[in-house]
Amino acid sequence: MKGLIGQKLGMTRLFDKTGKDITVTVLQAGPCYVTEVRTKEKHGYDAVQLGFENKREKVTPKPLMGHFSKAGIKPQRIVKEFDFSDSDLSFKLGDEVKVDIFSEGDRIAVLGISKGKGFSGGVKRHHFSGGPKTHGQSDRHRAPGSLGQSSYPSRVYKGLRMAGRMGAEQVTVKNLTVVRVDPEKNLLLVKGAVPGHIKGYVLIKKQA
């Protein structure tokens, strides 16, 4: 199994044997349940579908209720697919996958949705330097400046960096190191920061 669904709980720090502090992010990694096993013979590719966090039956559509009932588990809030190797073919519907698939020192990639900042100006969104502070420029301190076109082509090119909505995008941070694994509480402590806000859902994938 190459990954799990989790939730960001917050950040803290640990100390190694030399007394150096390590900034870590605490992730609730699983437990996840196998909701479907996809095979190349039947579906055209190999994958394991995992579900995370129980959901009320009242707000679950009937087709999904049948999907989860077939696996013999409660409705799941988040459902994602992960690639798997031949050694993972033993997973069956309803199997529980815990954080112990990871170990200290593993390299992982964490995918999440970044914090939404709303409508932001060019200085905050693209790190523009702003206009001059002197020579009569009293209202151009955070202005983007010229957009670059005049009589030709008499328009603004698509994709030009300007003010607009910032954040709330899918972000993947790679090559993060697993510092500690707590199988009893299904906690994963990862060195560094991961995208998203507290209690935001993340995908945790093991890297080769």
Angle at 86 between CA 83 and CA 92, to 5 degrees: 75
Measure the CA–CA gap between 28 and 189, rounded to whole angstroms: 9
55, 143: one domain? no
33, 63: one domain? yes
159, 179: one domain? no
57, 101: one domain? yes
pLDDT recorded at residue 111? 94
Which domain, by its residues, includes 36? Answer: 3-117+171-206
pLDDT recorded at residue 92? 82
pLDDT recorded at residue 152? 85
22, 41: one domain? yes
31, 94: one domain? yes
pLDDT recorded at residue 89? 57
180, 109: one domain? yes
80, 99: one domain? yes
Measure the CA–CA gap between 151 and 173, rounded to whole angstroms: 43
Angle at 91 between CA 170 and CA 112, to 5 degrees: 10
Encode pLDDT of 134-166 as tens digits: 888 888 889 988 888 788 888 888 999 999 999
109, 175: one domain? yes
Q: DSSP states of 5-67 as a string?
A: EEEEEEEEEEE-TTS-EEEEEEEEE--EEEEEEE-HHHHSS-EEEEEEEE--GGGS-HHHHHH
83, 65: one domain? yes
pLDDT recorded at residue 1? 58
109, 178: one domain? yes
3-state secondary structure of 9: strand
Q: Which token pair is 76?
A: 């799941």
Q: Are 1 and 201 in contact (CB under 8 A)?
A: no
**CA neighbor of 9 nearest in space, from 149, 187, 191, 133:** 187
Tell me the percentage of the chain whose pLDDT exceeds 90. Answer: 43
Measure the CA–CA gap between 121 and 144, rounded to whole angstroms: 8
8, 92: one domain? yes
Query: How many distinct structural domains can be found in the chain?
Result: 2
* CATH code at position 186: 2.40.30.10
Query: pLDDT per position in the chain (208 positions), as tens?
Result: 588 999 999 999 999 888 889 999 999 987 999 988 888 888 888 888 899 988 888 888 898 888 888 888 888 998 998 886 655 557 888 888 888 888 888 899 999 999 999 999 999 999 999 888 888 888 888 998 888 878 888 888 899 999 999 999 999 999 999 999 998 899 999 999 999 999 999 999 988 7
